[in-house]
Protein backbone atom coordinates (compact mmCIF):
# COMPACT_ATOMS: atom_id res chain seq x y z
CA UNK A 1 0.00 0.00 0.00
CA UNK A 2 1.35 3.43 -0.94
CA UNK A 3 2.30 5.75 1.87
CA UNK A 4 0.05 8.74 2.37
CA UNK A 5 1.54 12.08 1.36
CA UNK A 6 1.08 15.13 3.59
CA UNK A 7 1.60 18.04 1.22
CA UNK A 8 1.41 21.81 1.47
CA UNK A 9 -2.14 21.56 0.06
CA UNK A 10 -3.10 19.21 2.89
CA UNK A 11 -2.01 21.82 5.43
CA UNK A 12 -3.82 24.63 3.60
CA UNK A 13 -7.07 22.65 3.50
CA UNK A 14 -6.77 21.88 7.21
CA UNK A 15 -6.27 25.56 8.01
CA UNK A 16 -9.25 26.58 5.85
CA UNK A 17 -11.44 24.21 7.86
CA UNK A 18 -10.33 26.01 11.02
CA UNK A 19 -8.47 22.97 12.33
CA UNK A 20 -5.11 23.25 14.07
CA UNK A 21 -3.69 19.75 13.67
CA UNK A 22 -3.06 17.47 10.69
CA UNK A 23 -3.18 13.86 11.83
CA UNK A 24 -1.36 11.28 9.74
CA UNK A 25 -0.25 7.68 9.91
CA UNK A 26 3.12 6.70 11.36
CA UNK A 27 4.66 6.04 7.94
CA UNK A 28 3.17 9.02 6.07
CA UNK A 29 5.52 11.21 4.01
CA UNK A 30 5.52 14.86 5.09
CA UNK A 31 6.98 17.22 2.50
CA UNK A 32 9.23 20.11 3.41
CA UNK A 33 6.73 22.55 1.90
CA UNK A 34 4.06 21.13 4.22
CA UNK A 35 6.29 21.66 7.26
CA UNK A 36 7.05 25.24 6.23
CA UNK A 37 3.40 26.09 5.59
CA UNK A 38 2.31 24.45 8.85
CA UNK A 39 4.84 26.56 10.76
CA UNK A 40 3.64 29.70 8.99
CA UNK A 41 -0.05 28.99 9.70
CA UNK A 42 0.40 27.64 13.21
CA UNK A 43 -0.86 24.19 12.23
CA UNK A 44 0.58 21.15 14.00
CA UNK A 45 1.43 17.89 12.23
CA UNK A 46 1.15 14.81 14.40
CA UNK A 47 1.50 11.16 13.60
CA UNK A 48 -0.86 8.56 14.99
CA UNK A 49 0.87 5.87 17.02
CA UNK A 50 0.24 2.79 14.92
CA UNK A 51 0.29 0.67 18.10
CA UNK A 52 -2.69 2.50 19.53
CA UNK A 53 -6.14 1.83 18.07
CA UNK A 54 -9.04 4.16 18.90
CA UNK A 55 -11.67 2.42 21.02
CA UNK A 56 -15.42 2.71 20.49
CA UNK A 57 -15.68 4.15 23.99
CA UNK A 58 -14.24 7.43 22.80
CA UNK A 59 -10.70 7.02 24.13
CA UNK A 60 -8.40 9.43 22.34
CA UNK A 61 -5.82 8.02 19.96
CA UNK A 62 -2.26 8.37 21.19
CA UNK A 63 -0.27 10.74 19.00
CA UNK A 64 3.38 11.61 18.63
CA UNK A 65 5.19 14.50 16.93
CA UNK A 66 6.38 14.09 13.36
CA UNK A 67 9.98 12.92 13.22
CA UNK A 68 12.37 15.65 12.12
CA UNK A 69 14.43 13.09 10.21
CA UNK A 70 13.87 14.16 6.62
CA UNK A 71 14.71 12.26 3.48
CA UNK A 72 17.15 14.07 1.19
CA UNK A 73 17.59 12.92 -2.42
CA UNK A 74 21.06 13.53 -3.82
CA UNK A 75 22.44 13.08 -7.30
CA UNK A 76 25.30 14.20 -9.51
CA UNK A 77 26.96 13.80 -12.86
CA UNK A 78 30.64 12.88 -13.22
CA UNK A 79 31.72 16.45 -12.42
CA UNK A 80 29.95 16.35 -9.06
CA UNK A 81 30.56 12.71 -8.15
CA UNK A 82 33.47 13.30 -5.77
CA UNK A 83 31.68 16.04 -3.81
CA UNK A 84 28.49 13.95 -3.65
CA UNK A 85 30.36 11.05 -2.13
CA UNK A 86 31.87 13.33 0.51
CA UNK A 87 28.57 14.99 1.37
CA UNK A 88 26.58 11.78 1.88
CA UNK A 89 28.15 10.82 5.24
CA UNK A 90 27.93 14.45 6.34
CA UNK A 91 24.17 14.47 5.69
CA UNK A 92 23.78 11.24 7.63
CA UNK A 93 25.74 12.74 10.53
CA UNK A 94 23.23 15.61 10.61
CA UNK A 95 20.41 13.09 11.05
CA UNK A 96 18.97 12.93 7.55
CA UNK A 97 17.94 9.91 5.51
CA UNK A 98 19.88 10.03 2.24
CA UNK A 99 18.84 8.51 -1.10
CA UNK A 100 21.66 8.45 -3.65
CA UNK A 101 20.32 8.52 -7.21
CA UNK A 102 23.72 8.36 -8.91
CA UNK A 103 25.95 8.69 -10.78
CA UNK A 104 28.16 5.98 -9.36
CA UNK A 105 31.54 6.82 -10.89
CA UNK A 106 33.49 9.59 -12.59
CA UNK A 107 32.72 8.15 -16.02
CA UNK A 108 31.25 10.81 -18.30
CA UNK A 109 27.44 11.05 -18.15
CA UNK A 110 24.62 13.56 -18.75
CA UNK A 111 23.59 15.90 -15.93
CA UNK A 112 19.90 16.25 -17.01
CA UNK A 113 19.31 12.58 -16.22
CA UNK A 114 20.33 12.94 -12.60
CA UNK A 115 18.76 16.37 -12.17
CA UNK A 116 15.48 14.87 -13.36
CA UNK A 117 15.73 11.88 -11.00
CA UNK A 118 16.24 14.10 -7.94
CA UNK A 119 13.62 16.66 -8.96
CA UNK A 120 11.02 13.99 -9.72
CA UNK A 121 11.50 12.41 -6.30
CA UNK A 122 11.01 15.78 -4.59
CA UNK A 123 7.99 16.61 -6.75
CA UNK A 124 6.33 13.31 -5.82
CA UNK A 125 7.08 13.83 -2.12
CA UNK A 126 9.30 10.76 -1.83
CA UNK A 127 12.02 13.12 -0.60
CA UNK A 128 11.44 16.38 1.24
CA UNK A 129 14.33 18.16 -0.50
CA UNK A 130 17.08 17.44 -2.99
CA UNK A 131 20.72 18.24 -3.70
CA UNK A 132 22.17 18.03 -7.21
CA UNK A 133 25.85 18.46 -8.04
CA UNK A 134 27.52 18.98 -11.39
CA UNK A 135 30.72 20.78 -12.37
CA UNK A 136 29.39 24.32 -11.80
CA UNK A 137 25.83 23.83 -10.49
CA UNK A 138 24.05 26.07 -12.98
CA UNK A 139 23.18 23.40 -15.55
CA UNK A 140 21.48 21.08 -13.06
CA UNK A 141 19.39 23.98 -11.74
CA UNK A 142 18.20 24.70 -15.28
CA UNK A 143 17.15 21.09 -15.78
CA UNK A 144 15.50 20.65 -12.37
CA UNK A 145 13.47 23.83 -12.72
CA UNK A 146 11.66 22.36 -15.73
CA UNK A 147 9.82 20.05 -13.30
CA UNK A 148 6.51 21.48 -11.97
CA UNK A 149 6.70 22.52 -8.34
CA UNK A 150 10.49 22.56 -8.21
CA UNK A 151 12.37 25.63 -7.04
CA UNK A 152 16.04 24.78 -7.58
CA UNK A 153 18.66 27.29 -6.49
CA UNK A 154 22.33 27.21 -7.42
CA UNK A 155 24.11 28.07 -4.17
CA UNK A 156 27.74 29.14 -4.02
CA UNK A 157 28.05 30.60 -0.52
CA UNK A 158 26.23 30.69 2.81
CA UNK A 159 24.27 33.84 1.95
CA UNK A 160 22.81 32.43 -1.26
CA UNK A 161 21.88 29.21 0.55
CA UNK A 162 20.10 31.03 3.37
CA UNK A 163 18.32 33.47 1.04
CA UNK A 164 17.11 30.73 -1.29
CA UNK A 165 15.34 29.05 1.62
CA UNK A 166 14.17 32.06 3.62
CA UNK A 167 12.91 34.11 0.67
CA UNK A 168 12.31 31.58 -2.12
CA UNK A 169 11.45 28.35 -0.27
CA UNK A 170 13.83 26.41 -2.52
CA UNK A 171 13.31 22.68 -2.38
CA UNK A 172 16.39 21.73 -4.37
CA UNK A 173 19.91 23.08 -4.05
CA UNK A 174 22.53 22.67 -6.76
CA UNK A 175 26.26 22.87 -6.17
CA UNK A 176 29.38 23.05 -8.34
CA UNK A 177 31.69 20.15 -7.65
CA UNK A 178 34.64 21.90 -9.30
CA UNK A 179 33.83 25.34 -7.90
CA UNK A 180 33.65 24.88 -4.12
CA UNK A 181 35.61 22.74 -1.69
CA UNK A 182 34.20 20.22 0.75
CA UNK A 183 34.37 22.44 3.85
CA UNK A 184 32.47 25.28 2.19
CA UNK A 185 30.03 22.78 0.69
CA UNK A 186 29.29 21.33 4.13
CA UNK A 187 28.65 24.80 5.53
CA UNK A 188 26.37 25.73 2.61
CA UNK A 189 24.41 22.49 2.88
CA UNK A 190 23.97 22.78 6.65
CA UNK A 191 22.66 26.33 6.45
CA UNK A 192 20.33 25.45 3.57
CA UNK A 193 18.86 22.51 5.44
CA UNK A 194 18.42 24.40 8.71
CA UNK A 195 16.91 27.61 7.30
CA UNK A 196 13.11 27.82 7.21
CA UNK A 197 10.96 29.66 4.73
CA UNK A 198 9.96 33.07 6.14
CA UNK A 199 6.60 33.34 4.34
CA UNK A 200 4.93 36.72 4.73
CA UNK A 201 5.70 39.14 1.90
CA UNK A 202 7.62 36.43 0.06
CA UNK A 203 4.56 34.23 -0.47
CA UNK A 204 2.88 36.47 -3.03
CA UNK A 205 6.05 36.30 -5.11
CA UNK A 206 6.15 32.53 -4.95
CA UNK A 207 2.48 32.50 -5.93
CA UNK A 208 3.37 34.54 -9.01
CA UNK A 209 6.07 31.99 -9.91
CA UNK A 210 3.45 29.25 -9.58
CA UNK A 211 1.03 31.22 -11.75
CA UNK A 212 3.64 31.51 -14.51
CA UNK A 213 4.25 27.77 -14.30
CA UNK A 214 0.53 26.97 -14.51
CA UNK A 215 0.11 29.07 -17.67
CA UNK A 216 2.49 26.83 -19.57
CA UNK A 217 1.15 23.57 -18.13
CA UNK A 218 -2.22 24.04 -19.81
Active site residues: 167
Beta bridge partners of 33: none
Determine the Cα–Cα distance for residues 102 and 171; give it in Å rounded to an integer. Answer: 19
Determine the Cα–Cα distance for residues 128 and 130; give it in Å rounded to an integer. Answer: 7
Determine the Cα–Cα distance for residues 152 and 95; give it in Å rounded to an integer. Answer: 22
Long-range contacts at 208-215 (CB < 8 A, ≥ 24 apart): 209/151, 213/148, 213/149
Beta bridge partners of 129: 72
Amino acid sequence: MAKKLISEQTVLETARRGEKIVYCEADAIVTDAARDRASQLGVGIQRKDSKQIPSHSGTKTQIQPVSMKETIAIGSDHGGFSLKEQLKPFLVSLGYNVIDLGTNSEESCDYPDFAFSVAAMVMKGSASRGIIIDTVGTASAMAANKIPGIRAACCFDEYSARSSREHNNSNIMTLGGKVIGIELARSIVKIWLETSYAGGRHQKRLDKISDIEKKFLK
